[in-house]
């Protein structure tokens, strides 16, 4: 696919709204690199790095990891992977999560003349989300996400690509999940304010990823092809 200009997009949305699911679909249709803040934190936890050791407690109890840790982690990744230029297409899932994170990201992108050009808020009824989370299984190494009802793995409890066992996330329990949802509802107001002022925020509403994805794909096509 030929793009008219580089894609630099954020996906916002409540926990369980389908950010990871929509990212996988976009990767199949567009030549884009993606980074999920949750996936990168889970891999740091698995490797027992200093960031992972700090993050573990916050994630397990459903709190946000401190802004400074997240800003250093994600902007560090953007720099080391050489995404801060005028030609690389990328998508961030789960960062920024707070207004201070959004402001810091804007500063870094502005200093390299590669500002965000699209922010999409996935709007899924929150009454549906808990049910999905209880049926979610993940492949930790790749971030691939399954749902026992909606997109089950080909072999039960095994990753489709590697055949490795799937696991549950520690933070996918009902009590922790509610705390993550409450945190999201608080933080999203500040993020909306930043991105509405910049005129880059679009909201896509729907009950399922199958309703949301065609709208998301069309939005990306309209803006970048
Ligand atoms: P993170 O991993 O980013 O979690 P999250 O935002 O809570 O989002 P999820 O990954 O739970 O959901 P998702 O929107 O990706 O949905 P999915 O596609 O899996 O962050 C985890 C933690 O890390 C945070 O709580 C925080 O502690 C920390 N953290 C991360 N970033 C941070 C930051 N910037 N600052 C501070 N702390 C940070 O879909 C959900 C399920 O639904 C799946 O099972 C999927 O298969 C299923 N599904 C999808 N579509 C459908 C459908 N149409 N019908 C039925 N099921 C469906
Ligand atoms: Mg996710």
Residues in contact with ligand 1 by the CB-under-6-Å rule are 13, 15-21, 37-38, 41, 58-59, 62-65, 70, 94-97, 101, 132, 136, 145-147, 150-151, 171, 180, 208-210
* Ligand approaching nearest to the C-alpha of 143: 2
Q: Give the pairing type, strands 136-139 and 144-147.
A: antiparallel
Q: How far is the CA of 132 from the centre of ligand 1 (A)?
A: 10
The pLDDT assigned to 2 comes to 80
Question: Would you call the peptide bond into 96 cis, given omega within 30 degrees of 0 as the criterion?
Answer: yes
Domain contains 32: yes
pTM to 2 decimal places: 0.91
Distance between CA atoms of residues 106 and 104, nearest Å: 5
Specify if 2 maps to a domain.
Answer: no
CA distance 189 to 184: 9
Match 């971030």 to its residue by tokens.
143
H or E element, residue 77: helix 67-80
Indicate the pairing of strand 8-13 with strand 118-123: parallel
How many domains does the chain fold into?
A: 1
Residue 31 lies in a domain: yes
Written as six digits, the tokens of 19 are 């950010």
Residue 1 forms part of a structural domain: no
Residue 104, in any domain of the structure: yes
Q: In terms of Cα–Cα distance, which of 13, 21, 10 is closest to 180?
A: 13
| pLDDT at site 130 | 87
216 part of a folded domain:
yes
Q: For residue 98, what are the domain limits? A: 8-224
Q: What is the CATH number of the domain that holds 100?
A: 3.40.50.300
> Could you give the C-alpha distances from 43 to 58, 139, 159, 212, in angstroms and in order?
15, 11, 17, 28
Read off the tokens for 185: 């509802």
Q: Which atom of ligand 1 is nearest to the CA of 138?
A: 44
Question: What are residue 8's phi and psi, to 5 degrees?
Answer: -130, 95
Residues 15 and 52: beta-carbon distance below 8 Å: no
Distance between alpha carbon 81 and the CA centroid of its chain, in Å? Answer: 18
Residue 118 lies in a domain: yes
Residue-level pLDDT, tens digit, the chain, 225 residues: 788 999 999 999 999 999 999 999 999 999 999 999 999 999 999 999 999 999 999 999 999 999 999 999 999 999 999 999 989 999 999 999 999 999 999 999 999 999 999 999 999 999 889 888 989 999 998 999 999 888 899 999 999 999 999 999 989 998 999 999 999 999 999 999 999 999 999 999 999 888 999 999 999 999 999
What beta strand segments (E) does the chain contain?
Answer: 8-13, 33-36, 90-93, 118-123, 136-139, 144-147, 201-205
Kindly state whether residue 201 falls inside one of the protein's structural domains.
yes
């Amino acid at each position: 696919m030929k793009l008219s200009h580089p894609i630099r997009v954020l996906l916002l949305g409540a926990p369980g709204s389908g950010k990871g699911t929509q990212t996988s679909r976009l990767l199949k249709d567009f030549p884009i690199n993606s980074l999920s803040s949750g996936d990168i934190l889970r891999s740091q936890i698995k490797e027992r790095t200093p960031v992972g050791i700090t993050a573990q407690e916050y994630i397990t109890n459903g709190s946000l990891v401190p802004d400074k840790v997240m800003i250093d982690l994600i902007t560090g990744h953007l720099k080391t992977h050489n995404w801060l230029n005028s030609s690389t297409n990328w998508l961030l899932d789960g960062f920024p999560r707070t207004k201070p994170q959004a402001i810091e990201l804007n500063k870094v992108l502005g200093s390299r003349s590669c500002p965000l050009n699209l922010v999409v808020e996935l709007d899924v009824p929150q009454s549906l989300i808990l049910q999905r989370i209880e049926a979610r299984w993940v492949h930790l190494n790749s971030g691939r996400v399954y749902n026992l009802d909606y997109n089950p793995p080909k072999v039960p409890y095994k990753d489709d690509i590697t055949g490795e066992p799937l696991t549950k996330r520690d933070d996918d329990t009902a009590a922790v999940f509610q705390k993550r949802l409450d945190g999201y509802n608080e933080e999203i107001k500040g993020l909306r304010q930043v991105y509405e002022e910049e005129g880059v925020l679009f909201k896509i509403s729907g009950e399922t990823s199958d309703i949301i994805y065609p709208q998301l794909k069309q939005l990306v096509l309209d803006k970048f092809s």
